[in-house]
């Protein structure tokens, strides 16, 4: 049964690809930390146990580590990544890229030193946005190090994918074996009503018992600003909101292990969680399937979202 997890991409840093209308949010680190702790508490109270972060989510790893340390929960499952460094340094209006990609063995070793402080609740360790171009899937030093973390610490090793070639990357990564055992256990992928290009691959992975985690389930909030009529109509007929339908579509079509909520507020999280309590008819699913756009178009629009 699919569960909902909470991602910290919007909670750990002051600027992200937000679509929110309310602009006068206090963006101090203290306020963000308080909000992150509140959201983690609310999530836990509502039954969420899977939390996803990354070094590039500003203070996301640190907030999660401190919260976990204070609460001492035994049943939380923490996931993080390596491969991107946050460089905006909480500077508002930072003009250049807020995160820099580097898929080298040196970066893996450096970021692992900090991320390992999330142990023992850290269970999933992922390559952040693996691509064929970065060569990370052929970097034997990196793959060996990940294999070492898998066998010596018992971590599940994952990749996350973004961009129009997600499908190719997933297929390639899912075949990699070390000592005759598949290296990657977890596949964190963008899949939503607009970006469905990985549908068959994700089904195949799930059917083989590999773990599928879905990110960007409401297309970074775009389902609210570019709402197709059919999505709105289905939401109305269920007397609910479009996020609930968009997230339920994911659950009903591929039954992933986890769907990540990117909620920034209690209202958003509570709303996202309602996706667990409805069912879509086969006609509704068929209608929503038609909302898919070609991946190149989807990722072009995604690239145009402003960091603010």
Binding site for ligand NAP (CB under 6 A): 7-10, 18-20, 52, 128-129, 160, 162, 188, 215-221, 224, 241, 243, 260-264, 268, 271-272
Question: Where is 35: in which H helix or E strand?
Answer: helix 29-45
The nearer residue to ligand NAP, 262 or 295, going by C-beta atoms, is: 262
Q: Is the dihedral of CA 89, 95, 101, 102 positive or negative?
A: negative
Residue 19 is encoded by which pair of tokens?
């679509």
User: How does DSSP classify residue 265?
Assistant: S
The nearer residue to ligand NAP, 131 or 152, going by C-beta atoms, is: 131
The nearer residue to ligand NAP, 283 or 304, going by C-beta atoms, is: 304
In the complex, the smallest distance separating the C-beta of residue 106 from ligand NAP, rounded to whole angstroms, is: 21
In the complex, the smallest distance separating the C-beta of residue 271 from ligand NAP, rounded to whole angstroms, is: 4
In the three-class reduction of DSSP (H, G, I as helix; E, B as strand; rest coil), residue 16 is classed as coil
**What is the chain's percent helix, strand, coil content, to nearest 5?**
45, 15, 40
In the three-class reduction of DSSP (H, G, I as helix; E, B as strand; rest coil), residue 274 is classed as helix
The nearer residue to ligand NAP, 18 or 111, going by C-beta atoms, is: 18
Q: Is 106 left (phi over 0), alpha (psi -120 to 50) or beta?
A: alpha
In the complex, the smallest distance separating the C-beta of residue 148 from ligand NAP, rounded to whole angstroms, is: 22
Backbone angles phi, psi at 99, to 5 degrees: -140, 140
User: How does DSSP classify residue 183?
Assistant: S
In the complex, the smallest distance separating the C-beta of residue 206 from ligand NAP, rounded to whole angstroms, is: 18
In the complex, the smallest distance separating the C-beta of residue 172 from ligand NAP, rounded to whole angstroms, is: 17
Q: Is the distance from CB of 283 to CB of 249 less than 8 angstroms?
A: no
Name the residue number minimizing CB distance to ligand NAP: 262
The nearer residue to ligand NAP, 14 or 280, going by C-beta atoms, is: 14
The nearer residue to ligand NAP, 123 or 283, going by C-beta atoms, is: 123
Q: Is the distance from CB of 134 to CB of 269 less than 8 angstroms?
A: no
In the complex, the smallest distance separating the C-beta of residue 179 from ligand NAP, rounded to whole angstroms, is: 27
The nearer residue to ligand NAP, 10 or 280, going by C-beta atoms, is: 10
User: How does DSSP classify residue 137?
Assistant: G
The C-alpha atoms of residue 209 and residue 280 are separated, in whole angstroms, by 24
């Amino acid at each position: 049964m699919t569960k909902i997890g909470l991602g910290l991409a919007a909670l750990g840093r002051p600027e992200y690809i937000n679509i929110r209308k309310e602009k006068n949010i206090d963006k101090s680190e203290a306020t963000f930390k308080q909000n992150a702790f509140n959201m983690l508490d609310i999530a836990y109270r509502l039954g969420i146990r899977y939390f996803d972060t990354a070094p590039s989510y500003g203070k996301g790893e640190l907030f999660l580590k401190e919260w976990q340390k204070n609460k001492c929960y035994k049943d939380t499952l923490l996931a993080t990544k390596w491969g991107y460094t946050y460089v905006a340094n909480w500077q508002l209006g930072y003009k250049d890229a807020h995160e820099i990609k580097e898929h080298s063995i040196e970066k893996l070793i450096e970021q692992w030193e900090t991320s390992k402080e999330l142990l023992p609740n850290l269970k999933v360790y992922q390559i952040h946005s693996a691509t064929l171009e970065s060569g990370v899937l052929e970097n034997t030093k990196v793959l060996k190090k990940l294999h070492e973390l898998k066998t010596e610490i018992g971590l599940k090793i994952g990749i996350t994918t973004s961009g129009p070639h997600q499908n190719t990357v997933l297929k390639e990564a899912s075949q990699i074996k070390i000592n005759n055992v598949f290296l990657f256990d977890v596949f964190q992928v963008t899949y939503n009503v607009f970006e469905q290009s990985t549908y068959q691959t994700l089904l195949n992975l799930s059917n083989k018992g590999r773990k599928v985690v879905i990110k960007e389930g409401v297309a970074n909030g775009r389902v609210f600003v570019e709402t197709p009529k059919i999505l709105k109509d289905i939401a109305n007929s269920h007397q609910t909101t479009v996020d609930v339908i968009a997230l339920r579509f994911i659950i009903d079509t591929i039954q992933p292990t986890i769907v990540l909520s990117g909620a920034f507020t209690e209202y958003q999280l509570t709303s996202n969680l309602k996706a667990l309590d409805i069912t879509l008819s086969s006609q509704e699913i068929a209608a929503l399937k038609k909302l898919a756009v070609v991946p190149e178009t989807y990722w072009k629009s995604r690239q145009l979202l402003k960091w603010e």
